[in-house]
Amino acid sequence: MDFTSGGFVSGNIVVTMMLIIGLVAASLRARILDKNGVIAAALLGFFVGCLGHWTWLLLLLCFLLSSHIATKWRFEEKTERGLNESSDGHRGWINVAANGGMPALVALIAFIAEDWDNGLWMFAAAVAVATSDTWASEIGCLDNRVRMITTLKPCEAGVNGGFSPNGQLAAALGGILIGISALVANMVMFSSNVSDSMVLAGIVAGLGFLGCQIDSVLGAVLENRGFLTKGSVNALSIIAGVGLMWFYLGTPM
């Protein structure tokens, strides 16, 4: 079977289904997602894996699992300070849609254009933004050295648009994780020049960090005024990351 080609080929479909089964089992056991979130993630995973590639699904799993770990980090302290989105740390279908909608669209476009090379890096950029933002929120919220991104004045932890040193470091590390994962995915799918791929992986990491800053600005300027929701802010920042990668690649996708 062909395990390197993207799209509807037997090897890609088989591995994708195996990963989805693992995703569902892990989510139910560790309560990473609620019931609707599990269903949404399974559908999203099937869509991404079969239209894109099973390694792309692994990128999403890196985001999901690492974000769950970040969410559970010092969870009791976050709960006491009212900084958690749910009582037990699980996430729902809205979070899945906000963070996975744009990656799914990239997978669809890559499938239609039969361009999984450029599609991989655009997909990775989307996941990098989601990962960087989630890590920054979950880890940075416990750093009291918080400033508003638009004014640089001190503000309370957990406020939309606030950033902290620990949060910025977490955002950078989240982007690096997905950049490295994308590099591995590229090595599995293609025999591209390693040095060129490393440059693109670095850009993915950088776009993850930049997308996190865009998210903070949108949160400060629009979400705090009621013009956007948390989910729409996440989606717009991810779209920005994909758009910047598309511009860099100069792809007609």
CA 168 to chain centre: 16
Question: What residue numbers bound the domain in which 128 lies?
Answer: 10-249
CB atoms within 10 A of CB 79: 14
Q: With residue 81 as reference, give the H or E element that holds it.
A: none
Residue with tokens 């729902």: 92
Q: CB 80: neighbour CB atoms within 10 A?
A: 10
2 domain residue, yes or no: no
- Is 122 a member of any domain? yes
At 88, list the tokens.
Answer: 């037990």
Domain count, the chain: 1
Q: Residue 208 CB: number of other CB atoms within 10 A?
A: 32
Rounded Cα–Cα distance for residues 143 and 166 (Å) = 6
Measured CA to CA, the distance from residue 174 to residue 126 in angstroms comes to 12
Q: Residue 196's pLDDT is what?
A: 84
The answer to whether residue 91 is domain-embedded is: yes
26: how many CB neighbours lie within 10 A of its CB? 17
For residue 46, what pLDDT is reported? 95
Q: Is residue 3 part of a domain?
A: no
Task: Examine residue 1 and state whether it is found in any structural domain, yes or no.
Answer: no
Query: Residue 27: which residues within 8 A CB-CB, separation 6 or more?
Result: 33, 37, 38, 41
Compute the distance between CA of residue 222 and CA of residue 232 in angstroms, rounded to an integer. Answer: 10
- 5 belongs to a structural domain: no
Section 233-249 average pLDDT: 95
**Mean pLDDT in residue range 42-64:** 95
Q: Is residue 18, in this structure, part of any structural domain at all?
A: yes
Residue 54 pLDDT level (bands cut at 50, 70, 90): very high
Predicted confidence at residue 85, as pLDDT, reads: 63
Give domain status of residue 4, yes or no.
Answer: no
Among 7-11, 34-38, 52-56, the minimum mean pLDDT is found in 34-38
